[in-house]
Amino acid sequence: MILEQALLRIEPGHEEAFEAAFAEAREVVAQAPGFRGLELWRGIEEPLTYRLLIHWDSVEDHMQGFRGSALYEVWSRLLRPHFAQPPEVAHAAPIFGGDTDYERRGQ
């Protein structure tokens, strides 16, 4: 499994519309082969900045599968009007699993 990390910078005043569009767009990407789940985080210090984390089976599932599909066209049409600039996207591979000492301590 890999993690797609996208830094999304949103146009001022588009926060509510972006989040509403994202609620619809998440249903679109969830249909893509190799999709495993996602999280969307909003910046505290920079509230016009969002971090999107999507788990995929492989980079190819994201880059060739989803990005080359009609699903991506719908995804893009929903979200692109809200971007202040193109998203910055990178992929990462896991080193340690999702369980942490922090979670085990119940903090």
**53 assigned to some structural domain:** yes
Please report, for the domain that includes residue 42, its CATH number. 3.30.70.100
**107 assigned to some structural domain:** no
Q: How far is CA 5 from CA 9, 13, 55, 107, in A?
A: 13, 24, 9, 26
- Number of independent structural domains in the chain: 1
Q: Which residue, chain included where needed, has tokens 């146009």?
A: 11
Range of the domain at 26: 2-93
Confidence of residue 98 (pLDDT cuts 50, 70, 90): low
Q: For residue range 16-36, list pLDDT tens digits in order.
A: 999 999 999 999 999 999 999
The Cα 65–Cα 7 span in angstroms is: 21
**99 assigned to some structural domain:** no
**81 assigned to some structural domain:** yes
- Whether the per-residue pLDDT at 4 is higher than 80: the answer is yes
The Cα 70–Cα 22 span in angstroms is: 17
**43 assigned to some structural domain:** yes
Confidence of residue 99 (pLDDT cuts 50, 70, 90): low
**102 assigned to some structural domain:** no
**101 assigned to some structural domain:** no
**23 assigned to some structural domain:** yes
Joined together, the tokens standing for residue 32 give 């893509």
Helix (H) or strand (E) holding 88: strand 88-92
What's the whole-model pTM score? 0.87
